[in-house]
Structure 1
């Protein structure tokens, strides 16, 4: 029986390192143990990622991390055509439609995405439909599109620091109210805005993480956390796989239990992408209401019956 036990353990361990063959199926994945996981690109197409691949230090250095950030401004005066804001170039701001008297929303994509990925116009248009805002889309695609997730993830803190420094410069140069700043990041982008908020000494009034990336980020002090803003929230849709399941914010929402499969999804990569869609819908309609949970198990089972709080939306004074 001892031999059988050893054999069973070996089979269980080897399954954590076996290469999965069904695109998008992460049912094999064990957080902190599995080597491979499927992750979606900006179009939702699954790509197999080796989580133990060494960081490409040369590529990381050549991408210059956050120095390659691009800041695309959209307002009601230019809802579809971006105006490029350049740090330390005051003319790029004064010649744009940026208005320091208006609330500012910042949107940050994740790995294998870019400024034109569908989530960005989806959320941008939702914001502009309900309010007169400065909407800034951060494009960090030069690093985010590195084929190695490990390399892109390693650059996230620097990308976020550059974003934070850009916002400090922008507000000092052209005006802005930290209490009226809302940072929104998806997947790795959630940790980008987390670092940006901390670079700005936690002054952003609101920070929203959309299914914050899980692999390599569980227990990571550089992940999104409550020090990133005055009010920090996360919407978890693929907890335990592509997203973090643990509560890391002032308010953590777990729609449909916070895990795969989300309604209409059969694979984890689809559930991960539900977070931006749910958030954009909440901005337009503010119709999602969460109930406070006594513990994570209640959240997973959707049996919470505590106080209510709206999930998502564009309200700047929201607190939980």
Structure 2
């Protein structure tokens, strides 16, 4: 009761503060902005007015294969002699937009370089250093102006087919892409949001306030630093879906390798890079994953994500089917475009995939299922165990060891246990598995047995057509030389 009264008091104080501070401002060609725009007592309790467009003064740097080192740089209202510009309206155009207070923008050039290595197109880097500074709430207000600037810049090239325009934004830049899409009335071909910013956007149920799936003909998002659906400001990304295809990499919770990067940043890195890795590691992973996917020939495996209820369900093997029409799985990165035809079916759903903990992050994903034997008259008892698997290629003398379950758990007979793992190695080459298990160091002297029927491995990174309309995952089955496996002696499983 006391907590509810306190919450009500805070709400009233906040509302009165905003009401008293209500102000508005108009900028010619940009419209009128009000501090009550998009007000939400919980998720956006305070707004500031955006700075003047001439103060923000976003710049647009055009790169093509003909001017890789010497960009053409313009403001949002360019004066361009088209006969002297490298811009080619017959080619696709991609705009890349950074987020809040980003000092190091090498990633923008990495995306630009990879795309230009792959194909000849127009790449435009959008920078707004006079508007992205702290405080964050001011940068949020300024982002509306920058979005309109992007829209005006695109609009200036009257002969650009808007369906050939692709806007890529990171963090707050994702919402700028959304504002640009709104300005152009949703006619832009595609928007890709790289971990769209959560604070002051998460929970605001207003399509005008943030990136929305109506801002372009096709909107896809990559989430790596999710917030919480009930606790705002717990991270820098979003938990809510905001696009036709929403991919939550590693559940967008804990990105593999970030604890190590944070420690290295704290101990060894200079201050310029320290904040990026120490604070924003998970937030910037969306960028790193996307960069790896641009050139397919450099990938270890296809970055396939699967529609699932949540991350735990995906990890436990409940979601590994692309569906009869292929709509329940999607490739992260440029090839997400292939799922455009399913955009109305996938809207509002989450897709999940797993990665490695260091570059190259995109690796083979496998669903490993241990099928316990049925109980029998031998009075087999369930074992509390940790299982270790050693994959072997006897012809090439290759091995890889993994821990199936990091924590001890009970294995019941007649039950299947599944786990998604990632590997740099293609498991198709393995012909046998040695399984060992432990039931704890304090009781390891006691000999006990587990009874396992088989091990099934399903590749989540390799999909084959079953027929013209159906797809299936590549599947492997390994059977043991003996179904009884003691905690003292491992048993070999052979591929069948």
Structures share fold, TM-score greater than 0.5: yes
1:78 partner SS: coil
1:238 aligns with 2:225: yes
Distance in 2 separating the partners of 1:299 and 1:81: 46
| 1:1-320 to 2 correspondences below 5 Å | 57=49, 60-61=50-51, 64=54, 68-113=57-102, 117-144=105-132, 146-170=133-157, 172=158, 175-220=159-204, 221=206, 222-240=209-227, 241-259=235-253, 261-266=254-259, 269-285=280-296, 287-294=302-309, 298=313, 303-307=318-322, 308-313=329-334, 319=340, 320=343
Distance in 1 of aligned mates of 2:210 and 2:314: 22
Question: Cα gap change, 1:87/1:217 in structure 2, threshold over 3 Å: closer, same or farther?
Answer: closer
In structure 2, C-alpha distance between the alignment counterparts of 1:208 and 1:301, rounded to whole Å:
29
Higher relative contact order (CA 8 A, sep 6+): 1
Q: C-alpha deviations, 1:256-310, integer Å up to 9, x for none?
A: 1122x21211265101010111111111127311112245764687853242211
- Tell me, which stretches of 5 or more residues in structure 1 are unaligned? 10-31, 35-50
User: Are the equivalent residues in 2 in contact too, given 1:205–1:230 (CA < 8 A)?
Assistant: yes
Higher strand proportion, which one?
2
TM-score (norm. length: structure 2): 0.49
TM-score by length of 1: 0.75
Residues 91 and 79 (structure 1 numbering): CA distance in 2 closer, same or farther, change over 3 Å? same
Q: Which has the larger radius of gyration?
A: 2
- Cα distance in 2 for partners of 1:301, 1:81 equals 50
Distance in structure 1 (CA, Å) of the matches to 2:318 and 2:42? 30
Asked if the contact 1:181/1:316 (under 8 Å) is kept, the reply is no
Matched positions, count: 268
- Kindly indicate which of the two structures has a greater share of residues assigned to helix: 1
Q: CA deviation at 1:163?
A: 0.8
2:410 alignment partner in structure 1: none
Deviations 1:59-78, CA, capped at 9 Å, x for gaps = x4356466x11110011111
- Return 124-133 or 288-297, whichever deviates more: 288-297
Residues 303 and 79 of structure 1, relative CA distance in 2, 3 Å threshold:
farther
1:85, distance to aligned residue in structure 2 (A)? 3.1
Query: Residues 264 and 235 (structure 1 numbering): CA distance in 2 closer, same or farther, change over 3 Å?
Result: same
Structure 2 contact 307–319 (Cα < 8 Å) conserved: yes
C-alpha contact 1:210 1:234 (8 A) present in aligned 2:
yes
Unmatched tracts of structure 2, length 5 or more: 7-40, 228-234, 263-278, 323-328, 344-496
Counterparts in 2 of 1:82 and 1:310: CA distance versus 1, 3 Å = same
What is the root-mean-square deviation of aligned Cα atoms in Å? 3.0
Aligned to 2:325: none
